Amino acid sequence: MKRVYVNEKWCLGCRLCEYNCAFANSGMTDMVKALNNVTINPRIKVEKANGISFAVQCRHCKDPICVRACIAGALHLDEDGVIRIDDTKCVGCHSCVMACPYGAIMPSQKGVMQKCELCLQNSSKEPACVKGCPNHAIVYEER
């Protein structure tokens, strides 16, 4: 299956991926309206230190600990290999935050959890972070 992979040496740390993620998942059609004066809460997060930067989001593990740790049966490893969250079942207990070795699950504005679902079900249809990355520091491919 195709996943998002990081080429750290190309990352400029510009955080465009974070903005594109937030917009793609906002459900809105106008980027300015979606992001203007909003503190964005993206599902991809850029780590930066000492001149190094890279983006981190869900790795879509084949044997996901987050899914096993979910007390609500809200996280699923779907047949297409994507790990999705049913936010109507999530109670916000943070067990997935406790379990994810990448630190890639975080609370949404609604107080339940959110994570990268590869944009397959939003209007972007493919990872918006990758589409908008100016330097191919993240790629969406089979490895």
User: Length of the chain in residues, anyone?
Assistant: 143
Nearest CB to other proteins, comparing residues 35 and 92: 92
Q: Which does 7 bind (CB under 5 to 8 A by kind): ligand FAD, other proteins, none?
A: other proteins
Judged by CB under 6 A, the residue of 12, 52, 71, 91 near ligand FAD is 71
Q: Which residue is nearest to ligand FAD (CB)?
A: 71
- Name the phi and psi angles at 8, rounded to 5: -55, -35
Nearest CB to other proteins, comparing residues 32 and 49: 49
Nearest CB to ligand FAD, comparing residues 67 and 133: 67
Which residues bind to ligand FAD, rule: CB under 6 A?
71, 93
